[in-house]
Structure 1
């Protein structure tokens, strides 16, 4: 979680063994006891992000809800998933910015985008939303609202309005 907070706060240059260890009150040696090297750490950090930012969000959906209500719940979770322990609202924009200069991060972001859009597409089909562009529009709106730093209430209202129009 310290890596996510550092990335969100200061960008990828903050993801150094010494700086992370110092922030945690640990030694650089203890960092290397847990991770083979910095690339190993960064790879595991990205893997954890992919797990938490997809599986963690999907696990928060109520499977008993009808498809349309689950889609609405997913849209609200997408704009509310801003845990400060996990980097807060700035984590995903920081990851997307980092992806512009790092191929491994760009691949992780592309995988995440594809997984999320595929899941939203499945929910849209189940909910009877047939507009082919709907899944991408919903996802792009969620990403854009996050990058813009919109508050939860404003972002939630925008997502609800898009769903209503679809």
Structure 2
């Protein structure tokens, strides 16, 4: 018996591998066989942890959606708004791939819709707290943040979102 036994795989291990594979190769990589190859194991291990591939997709999207929910820092509404806008402009590595997957997968589309609504409601609430009641401003800030994620790495980063928030606040 080798002292270098492989660590046991967990659902989280499979989900982490799935998020990485999705970001690198797209939704076709979210099947049992390619994921098992990626982890150097068998499909049996996949089916030990998940009933089937749709069950895996539900677990992956559920964990991603929970992790992607915005967390507000402490401080005034202005500080929270500025930091939220900056955080929204910084994507985790899998969100762009999940957004692309959502164009052809109903589960991913539904998760994105719930997340987008939660983020927009939070932006609307913070904007209302600072005296800006037009809900379109939340949509503009959110769309700008999502657009900045797709820009090249040498393009303006999340600090540009802080500047945009400052501009919006100056117009009230």
Structure 2-normalised TM-score?
0.81
Distance 1:124 1:26 in 2: 49
Moved more, 121-130 or 93-102: 121-130
Q: Which structure ranks higher in relative contact order (CA pairs < 8 Å, sequence separation ≥ 6)?
A: 1
Return the offset for 1:112: 1.1
Pick the aligned partner of 2:42 from 4, 15, 27: 27
Write the mapping of 1:1-166 to structure 2, written as runs, cut at 5 A: 1-54=16-69, 57-58=70-71, 61-63=72-74, 65-82=75-92, 88=93, 91-146=94-149, 148-151=150-153, 154-166=156-168
Specify whether residues 153 and 80 from structure 1 end up closer, same or farther in structure 2 by C-alpha distance, changes over 3 A only.
Answer: farther
> Which of these two proteins has the greater Rg computed from alpha carbons?
2
Residues 86 and 159 in structure 2, CA contact (< 8 A), matched pair in contact too: no
**Structure 1 residues 54-105: Cα deviation after superposition (integer angstroms, max 9, x where no partner):** 1xx31xx322x111001111122223353xxxxx2xx222111111111221
CA RMSD of aligned residues (A): 1.7
Residues 120 and 135 in structure 1, CA contact (< 8 A), matched pair in contact too: yes
Give the helix-richer structure, 1 or 2: 1
Distance 1:165 1:22 in 2: 50
Q: Corresponding residue for 1:85?
A: none
Residues 35 and 41 in structure 1, CA contact (< 8 A), matched pair in contact too: yes
How many pairs does the alignment contain? 153
Gaps of 5+ in 2: 1-15
Gaps of 5+ in 1: 83-87
